[in-house]
Chains A and B, each alone.
Chain A
Amino acid sequence: MKKKFTLKGLGCASCAAKMETAICKLDGVKQATVNYMTTKLIVEGEEDQMPAILREAEKIIKKIEPDVIIKKA
């Protein structure tokens, strides 16, 4: 299953790249992209692991850029 989010306030391109690499490494994630230009996060992963994935992804994003607001798109 695929989930899309808008990352409001995503300010730095290398941070976006870091988030992407970290989220890709999470358990159950098939593919993840953080698009600096559209400020979108797209996660594709196992349905039953999704809540855990999203929790972890949020932690990663907040760690790299604490001011980013994650909104469902």
Chain B
Amino acid sequence: MKKRLWRIVLAAVIWAAAAWIGINLQWLRLVLFLSSYMITGWDIVFKAARNIVRGNVFDENFLMSLATIGAFLIGEYPEGVAVMLFYQVGELFQNYAVDKSRKSIADLMDIRPDYANVKKNNELIQMDPEEVRPGDIIVIKAGERVPLDGEVLEGSSLLDTSALTGEPVPREIQAGSEILSGCINLNGVITVKVIREYEESAVSRILDLVENATNNKSKSERFITRFARYYTPIVVIVAFLLAVLPPLLIREAAFSDWIYRSLSFLVVSCPCALVVSVPLSFFGGIGGASSRGILVKGGNYLEALAQTDRMVFDKTGTLTRGVFRVQEIHCRDDQDLSERDGLHGLGEKESREKKERDLLELAALAEHFSNHPISLSLKQAYGKEIDASRITDMEEISGHGVRAMVDGKEILAGNHKLMAQNMISYNRKDLYGTVVHIAVNGEYAGCILISDEVKEDSRRAIQELKKTGIRQTVMLTGDNEATASRIANELDLDAFYAELLPEGKVEKLEELLELGASKSKLSFVGDGINDAPVLARADVGIAMGGLGSDAAIEASDVVIMTDEPSKITTAIRIAKKTMGIAWQNVYLAIAVKAAVLIFSAFGMTALWAAIFADVGVTVIAVLNSLRALNVKGL
């Protein structure tokens, strides 16, 4: 780089001297110009000659050599040398800009751990993370990067997960926590059991995703490569015709004049600005997104994301937390559930609370042996140790609930179908959420309402999405109509479809896909748990919640590492910005080149303009695409 700069400076000085001498000392002037040319451009001419020998014409070097030598031959020495000089300066700038953006993207993805401290026979050995096997014990000191995915055995610490999730708040970890490679251990020393080998660890998977992302080319990238393939030969042919035809056909046209015009064509014919700037913008956008915890699997998906105007969400785990909690307990008022303890002397409020606790206790006991998420939430709400000896018989009725003998009484706990099956009547209240009805010895005792909570930022995310140009928001769920409608209202969604089985979700999505116009894109957001087929079917499948499920990462096009729905808006904003930059570059390059071509065909410009159209535009485009890396505040 330095050497090249010196060459340019030296050549420029000689060029200035030659220009200053003036026309009187013709031979000295020519010698100076020639030496200036040789100093700055010998390698270009050499490469051009070598490539022609290898059967590779029409490359940049060839075009530049032809244009500059052509200028010499028609006596335009100062310009001939100057064009070469500017070309070299431009190349220098271009290399610098490309290097810089490569570096800043590499920095963004600098999450590769260098070593792992493996504990072997009470000794710590530094090893390459690739050589560490699952089951090995490693020690991570403060400030070190977690080299492999593992489970903490000893110690507690704070973990900086920002490299993976873009989340600035450190996470607390202690024995039993699972940690992902790529995070940084902030304070304590922790001992960790490796659970995945390096290739399967979070770091490798993320790097792989991002590095391969640029291989999935977007339409605009394809357009540019195709454009470049025809552009260069056509411009070169036109240049040739321009140099030869007018002087032959028009009497007063001079060869040197038309050759000069055609030289501009040769200089402008290089497609580099276009071919560099578009993929560079995408690379920047994908790199920038990954720094915010959003992994985009390709330029094509970034493009589709920018064009998304309809967004379909899965409910559980995406818009809601996916964790069930007991919300309300309703007892049947005229029944005293607990005959063992008298209720005399207690106030009315206290007696109601007591009844509710008893109902919950019965439900928790009845569901004790079940692992259904609803049972777990009942047991969690009960919160006390369960005396299993009180339960003498238990039967799980799939899709309905449970039947159990508790303290010698028959307890039924389940949904309305279970009650109907056992001909137990009750006053059905309109409750939103999942309802567990409880009956004791064939008598209705009350019900417990369990529901899932809406995530804190779901509402804001939906509002923001509407601002970024999403016309329609739809929710798909397997849950019942009442719950779905409540959440859809709360979040201000445009439509919802409830009580869908997993296959039903795919069918619904296909219906929605068919409704849309051909250019409109539809994204589906899910958590990857039993909605992988839907993720795969949508124009853009967005999986939330990180590297949790392999199926989700495989099936989705965009992976959001955190649980926040608001990151979807960030992703769309990044996509739109990137697309904007890519197209700005395309229009800029084509417009400037076209203008220079037209003006030089009419002899209205000098070769300088052509040089600007080539390298100047490339440098501007490269600098512009660096903007895609900046995703702060999106």
Provide the residues of chain A in CB contact with B60, threshold 8 Å: 12, 14
CA of A64 to CA of B57 in the docked complex: distance in angstroms?
10
Verify if A17 is at the interface (C-beta below 8 Å from B). Answer: yes
A37 touches B59 (CB 8 A): no
Indicate whether A50 reaches chain B with its CB closer than 8 angstroms: no
- Report A-chain residues with C-beta under 8 Å of the C-beta of B86: none
Stretch from B73-81, B142-150, B269-277, B421-429 that touches the partner: B269-277
How many chain A residues sit at the interface, stated as a range, is 10 to 19
Q: Please classify the interface of chain B as helix (H, G, I), strand (E, B), loop, or mixed, using the class held by over half of its residues.
A: helix
Comparing B27-35, B48-56, B175-183, B505-513, the segment that makes contact with chain A is B48-56
Contact of B54 among A12, A14, A63 (CB under 8 A): A63
| Chain A CB within 8 A of B211 CB | yes
Closest to B215 in A: A33
> Measured between C-beta atoms, what is the minimum distance from A66 to chain B in Å?
7
Residue of A nearest to B106 (CB): A38
Return B232 CB to nearest CB of chain A, in Å.
8
- For window 97-152 of chain B, which residues contact chain A by CB distance below 8 Å? 101-102, 105
Query: Do residues B214 and A37 form an inter-chain contact, with CB atoms below 8 A?
Result: yes
Interface digits, B199-234 against A, CB 8 Å rule (1 contact, 0 not)?
000000000000110110000000001001000000
A14 in contact with B228 given A37-B102, A63-B56, A64-B56 (CB within 8 Å): yes
Q: Which residues of B contact A69 (CB under 8 A)?
A: none
Chain A residues positioned under 8 Å from B211 (CB to CB): 35, 38, 40
Chain A residues whose CB sits within 8 angstroms of the CB of B279 once the complex forms:
13, 36-37
Majority SS at the chain A contact face: mixed
In the bound complex, do residue A17 and residue B225 qualify as a contact, i.e. CB atoms below 8 Å apart?
yes
Shortest Cβ distance from residue A73 to the other chain B in the assembled complex, whole angstroms: 10
Contact flag A14-B272 (CB < 8 Å), given A35-B215, A37-B105, A38-B211? yes
Q: Which residues of B contact A39 (CB under 8 A)?
A: 102
B301 at the A interface (CB under 8 A): no
Specify which chain A residues have a CB less than 8 angstroms from the CB of B488 in the assembled complex: none
Nearest-CB residue, chain B, relative to A64: B56
Q: How far does the alpha carbon of A71 sit from the alpha carbon of B211 in the complex, in Å?
A: 17
Closest to A15 in B: B59
Contact A35 B214 (CB under 8 A): yes
Bits for B238-278, please: 1 = Cβ < 8 Å to A, else 0.
00000000000000000000000000000000111001100
Complex partner residue of B276 from A13, A33, A35, CB under 8 angstroms: A13
Give A13 to B54 CA distance when docked, in angstroms: 20
Decide yes or no whether A68 CB sits under 8 A from chain B: no
B47, closest chain A residue (CB): A66
Q: Give 7 pairs: A residue, B residue, CB < 8 Å, sorted on A.
A: A13-B279, A14-B271, A14-B272, A14-B275, A38-B102, A40-B211, A66-B51
Known: A15-B59, A36-B276, A38-B211. 16 other contacts (CB 8 A): A11-B95, A13-B275, A13-B276, A14-B270, A14-B272, A17-B225, A33-B215, A35-B211, A35-B215, A36-B279, A38-B102, A38-B214, A42-B215, A63-B54, A64-B59, A66-B51
A interface residues with partner B (beta carbon < 8 Å): 11-15, 17, 33, 35-40, 42, 63-64, 66
